[in-house]
Amino acid sequence: MSDDQQYLVDTVNTQMPFGKYAGCKLLLLPEPYLVWFHKKGFPHGKLGKQLALMYEIKLNGLEKMLKPLLKTD
The tens digit of pLDDT for each residue in 19-70 reads: 999 999 999 999 999 999 999 999 999 999 999 999 999 999 999 999 999 9
Enter the DSSP assignment of 45: S
Compute φ and ψ for 10, nearest 5 degrees: -65, -40
40 located within any domain:
yes
Residue 37 counted as domain residue: yes
Assess contact for 63 and 57: CB atoms under 8 A. yes
The predicted pLDDT at position 4 comes to: 92
What pLDDT score was predicted for residue 1? 82
Question: Is 44 inside any structural domain?
Answer: yes
73 pLDDT higher than 80: no
**Residue 68 within a domain:** no
The answer to the question of residue 58 being in a domain is yes
Is 8 contained in some domain?
A: yes
Predicted confidence at residue 72, as pLDDT, reads 84
The reported pLDDT for the residue numbered 61 is 95
Contact present, 65 and 52 (Cβ < 8 Å): no
CB atoms within 10 A of CB 60: 9
38: domain range? Answer: 3-62
- Nearest CA among 44, 40, 13 for reference residue 26: 13
- What is the average pLDDT across 1-20? 95
Domains in the chain: how many in total?
Answer: 1
